[in-house]
Amino acid sequence: MNEGIEKKLNELVKEIGSIPTPQKKKLFTLIKRTDDCQKKLDKSIDGLQDSLDSLRLSVKYLIFDLEATRRENSQLKKALEDKNK
């Protein structure tokens, strides 16, 4: 989790100590939800980063393949031209 967010949540938990019990319970529930959502968000961001890394690698392979195909095409055209002379 983002250290800044975690620090703020911990400060909030300390401040909630002086609030009456019914309100305190609601606030603790909200803090728990916030923490859970932040963890899910972090996990989603990690998954997205992995997907982007994979996509970048795939694009590099495709560019390499395209360049190789162009070179082969150029060589074959030259071979055909030489054969027709």
pLDDT digits (tens, 9 = 90+) for 44-76: 999 999 999 999 999 999 999 999 999 999 999
Q: Band of the pLDDT at 27, cuts 50, 70, 90?
A: confident
Q: Kindly give the residue spans of alpha helices, DSSP state H, lying in the chain.
A: 3-16, 21-84
Q: What is the mean pLDDT of residues 23-44?
A: 90
Closest by alpha carbon to 31, among 9, 2, 1, 5?
Answer: 9
- pTM for the predicted model, two decimal places: 0.63
Q: Band of the pLDDT at 1, cuts 50, 70, 90?
A: low
pLDDT of residue 7: 85
